[in-house]
Structure 1
């Protein structure tokens, strides 16, 4: 088993007033040559957008972009004709492919929205851009991991053009859970959204990240009430 630990306080950060953001991997004005990506996982941004704030229309291409609101509602528009509100309990995905323009704004004028935005390198380039959004409220479970993303359009959750699987779990203090990797050679990046957990012997706290590879299974113990996101991705040469 090999691991890499990223403590919450070591992340890149920027406070623009309307946006308070933390970058697990190099992004925008934050660059660390040792923290460019974890395998196919390129971006893990932890954003807090003030009421009325947001990102105007901007382009993406050849990237799988996943948005998970943690608090509040996010308003999305794109040049594919989609106008949606993404709420806490939803997961959104865009396959940018040949190119897409979109905007993201807080849907409230006076309450913040907190979200994770995640970018994954695709295994196919120049695909037709696509958009999808689901509610995970009906598939969520307590004290175990449940899948919210996969490479299979017929499987549970959203799907992307990559051999990647994302799972969420909410745990009560003292509860344990296991996660078995789906594909040989993949690694897992674990991100602690809330609380304290121990994963394969490594203690982690709120907003800590842990990359794990050369392992078949993760064992998780909740040291307090906790919520964890597991992102299984191919390791890139």
Structure 2
């Protein structure tokens, strides 16, 4: 088993007033040669967006882009004609493929938005761009992992153009989560949204992360109530 530790206080950080962004991997003006990607996982940004502010129209291509809203909401518009609001508890997927333009704004005039943006390298390049969105508010069961996104198509999850799986769960203190890799030659990036856990003997607190590879299984023990995000990706 291989493990890499990414403490929260060692992430990249950028504060431009309306946007306070934390970068788990090299992004924009932040560069760390040891943190360019974890397997196919290229970006995990922890963004705080001020009321009535956001990102104007900008392009993407050949990237699987996932947005998980933790607090507040985001208004999405794109060049395919999609317009909608992503609320806390909802997840959005964009397969940028041959190219897409989109914008994201905090529609509230009073409430800050906190969202996680995740980029994963695609399995197949230059596919037709696609967009999807799903609420998981009613699907989350306390002390269980819920699969949000998968490389296998299912009515219960969002599909991604990669052999990847994204799972999340809320757990009480003193729980054990035994995770089994769903795809061969995969690794798992464990990101603690809130609380404290131990992953194979490594202590992680709020916003800490660890990447685990060269194993088919691993265990997480919650030392406090915790919210955990697991991103399984190919390790190339």
Normalised to the residue count of structure 2, the TM-score between the two structures is 0.98
SS at match of 1:27: coil
Match of 2:204 in 1: 204
Match of 1:29 in 2: 29
Distance in 2 between residues matched to 1:54 and 1:217, nearest whole Å: 39
Distance in 1 between residues matched to 2:155 and 2:24, nearest whole Å: 28
SS at match of 2:37: coil
Kindly state the Cα deviation for residue 141 of structure 1 after the two structures are TM-superposed.
1.2
Distance in 2 between residues matched to 1:104 and 1:22, nearest whole Å: 17
Match of 1:110 in 2: 110
Q: Give the conservation status (yes or no) of the 8 Å contact 1:25–1:44.
A: yes
Match of 1:121 in 2: 121
Kindly state the Cα deviation for residue 178 of structure 1 after the two structures are TM-superposed.
1.2
Deviates more, 1:155-164 or 1:13-22: 155-164
SS at match of 2:9: helix
Where structure 2 has 5 or more consecutive residues not aligned to the other structure, the ranges are none
Q: Deviations over 1:8-45 (max 9, x none)?
A: 00000000100000000000000111110000000000
Please report the RMSD computed on the Cα atoms of aligned residues, expressed in angstroms: 0.8
Where structure 1 has 5 or more consecutive residues not aligned to the other structure, the ranges are none
Q: Deviations over 1:167-201 (max 9, x none)?
A: 10110111222111102210000000000011111
Match of 2:157 in 1: 157
Distance in 2 between residues matched to 1:96 and 1:184, nearest whole Å: 25
SS at match of 2:167: strand
Kindly state the Cα deviation for residue 152 of structure 1 after the two structures are TM-superposed.
1.7
SS at match of 1:161: coil
Deviates more, 1:62-71 or 1:209-218: 209-218
Match of 1:72 in 2: 72
Kindly state the Cα deviation for residue 156 of structure 1 after the two structures are TM-superposed.
2.9
SS at match of 1:137: coil
Q: How many residues align?
A: 236
Q: Give the conservation status (yes or no) of the 8 Å contact 1:150–1:156.
A: no
Deviates more, 1:151-160 or 1:41-50: 151-160
SS at match of 2:153: coil
Q: Give the conservation status (yes or no) of the 8 Å contact 1:145–1:179.
A: no
Distance in 1 between residues matched to 2:113 and 2:221, nearest whole Å: 29
Distance in 2 between residues matched to 1:91 and 1:26, nearest whole Å: 23
Q: Give the conservation status (yes or no) of the 8 Å contact 1:121–1:162.
A: yes
Q: Deviations over 1:183-235 (max 9, x none)?
A: 22100000000000111111100000100001111211111110000000000
Kindly state the Cα deviation for residue 138 of structure 1 after the two structures are TM-superposed.
2.3
Distance in 1 between residues matched to 2:154 and 2:223, nearest whole Å: 35
Q: 2:84 matched to 1:88?
A: no
Deviates more, 1:172-181 or 1:9-18: 172-181
Kindly state the Cα deviation for residue 147 of structure 1 after the two structures are TM-superposed.
0.6
Match of 1:169 in 2: 169
Match of 2:183 in 1: 183
Match of 1:221 in 2: 221
